[in-house]
A and B are shown apart, each in its own frame.
Chain A
Amino acid sequence: MRTLIQPRGPKAARVLPGFNITLGFTLVYLSLIVLIPLSALIFKTFALSWPQFWEAISSPRVVASYRLTFGASLIAALINVVFGLLIAWILVRYDFVGKKIVDALVDLPFALPTAVAGISLTAILAGNGWIGQYLEPLGIKLAFNPNGIVIALIFIGLPFVVRTVQPVLEVAEKELEEAASSLGATRIQTFFRVILPIIAPALLTGFAMAFARAIGEYGSVIFIAGNMPMVSEITSLIIIGKLEQYDYAGATAVALVMLVISFILLLIINALQAYQRRHAGTQS
């Protein structure tokens, strides 16, 4: 599993031409594809004075949307960690009829236009939908409120966890587990002391990717959210709303806030991951 921080290995014969050229290419390419578009974001916000900038990013509706976006993304990513691990586990450790199809199904949220996902989820979960019609009488509302947002975010984030954990589980040696159990470890001990340390970095990566993806999600969420100010408006919708008012600077200001928070969160997760690698003593 490739991780975001890769310690430089011992000197070995290189297949690609030297470090200088590759690093140079990397920097130019990243600047072109990532940095320049993002710096445009910053320049657009220069149209605002500090008080205007502060007002744009701190009005109650916008703050409520940050809380919702990051909160719902966190919940969805955590749920994905648990169930994504389970799915990866089943796909790696068991053989069953139709396994290839199940394996392919996992990738669907990658490929599907997210608006389609949003519309279909809404159709199923709304008060008159297949599932919604049974839940609504029980007082469980899953569409047009924050619950719906979490569900949409679980949907789009699932493949990230499965696809990062799966290859690590595949190479994790079953013998280790057998050894643990023959030495008298219970199943729970085996899981937490043998398996989890091996897959933890991958799991964390999957979590980070699902989380990051959820923060920026737009298409699948707006159809199911209900878009009520202060209640179920995600930050992406606030940004689009500002663009609809031709408030480019305000929109980019909020986008910039999202970018900074996301970047900090990813840095923290990366650091955690590096820490874990060093202290878990795994060979993966």
Chain B
Amino acid sequence: MKKYVHAIVSAGLIAFSSIAVSQTLLNASYDVAREFYKDYNTAFTAQYKKKTGKDVKIDQSHGGSSAQARAVNDGLDADVVTMNTTTDVEFLANNGVVAKDWAKKFPFNASPTTSTILFLTRNGNPKGIKDWDDLVKPGIQVVIVNPKTGGNGRMVYLAAWSYAKKKGMSDAAAAEFVGKLFKNAPVLAKGGRDATTIFLQRNIGDVLLTFESEVLSVDREYGTGKVDAVYPSVSIIAENPVAVVERTVNKKGTGELANAYLNYLYSDEGQEIAAKHALRPRSAAILKKYASTFKPIELVPVSEYFGSLSEAQKVHFNDGGQFDKIYTVK
């Protein structure tokens, strides 16, 4: 009996002491970054312990990027947000949840990684799809995320538009081009994972338009060789922005930890873990090291034709915008 009491008391003490010294940090992130941050958190906690001697515990919360942003805005006590669309962080900045100048707080617009839109065709590319022009041909079925509900779909739209502009098309011709692309979609998926399921499990469509990192997920989930990644001549840069949630860290006193957490994303280790998860690293050296994952492709920043993502949102995706016109004008 005494032995048990002893065990319980010491277990309690251990639990108590670990609460006393360790800080916790909540990272609110988007859906498909779950695996990346799982690996990253392990690396970060080990490194942080080595550097400061402190134990930290990182909690993860994942969901649709803007759903997560809304949750944080409405009071979810996340210390940091790591999103896949700058508009999500801008929304938080406008509401004073993150710093107004969040994009200047970390290098590269506070986006340690980027991604881009690729084409995933069925094994062997039976329809011979090479570039955007092939996607607007009659009879080709493309699977895209609904731009109204997924950032993924908005990026596809902007990538196609950028390609049209690079080809020297006028705005009207670009709108027609993008219109043709979306007319070739038999289904608009709700989100990125839904699109992958429709393409691979339901066997619908000739080509899936999605983020580069999804190629890796497909290989992992469905086995390699199910899809071929096609690199179009032009695509778009999708930044993955990060920010410290000032509201939370001021309350919890976790500012120093939150900054360390996000800064480590820019370290060689952080960049390498990202590369392993098919997120394009900012570090040129690491990008070169993973050249087989990230084949060269002309990448257009959103600012080139759209100003910013928020402006693109207003012109193209908000109600009554260009995307609605594609569907409502017969």
Contact = CB atoms under 8 A, between A and B. Distances in A.
Interface in B218-257: none
B327 interface: yes
Contact of B204 (A59, A144, A247): A144
B204 A246 contact: no
A223 interface: yes
Contacts of B124: none
A226 B148 CA distance: 13
A59 B319 contact: yes
Interface string A21-61: 00000000000000000000000000000000001100111
Contacts of B201: 123
B52 interface: no
B190 to A, nearest CB: 5
A284 interface: no
Contacts of A206: none
Contact of B203 (A128, A228, A240): A128
A126 B204 CA distance: 9
Contacts of A226: 186-188
B292 to A, nearest CB: 32
Interface residues of A, number: 30
Nearest to A243: B70
A227 B190 contact: yes
A80 interface: no
A237 B149 contact: yes
Interface in B134-150: 146, 148-150
Interface in B260-316: 313
Interface string A121-145: 0110011110000000000000110
A126 B70 contact: no
B96 interface: no
A56 B319 contact: yes
Contact of A126 (B190, B203, B328): B203
Contact of A144 (B70, B187, B327): B187
Contact of A241 (B148, B186, B320, B328): B148
B6 interface: no
Contacts of A230: 327-328
B318 A228 contact: no
A110 to B, nearest CB: 24
Of B67, B146, B204, chain A has the most CB atoms within 10 Å of the CB of: B146
Interface of A: 55-56, 59-61, 122-123, 126-129, 143-144, 222-223, 226-230, 237, 240-247, 250
5 contacts: A55-B319, A223-B190, A227-B149, A245-B66, A246-B70
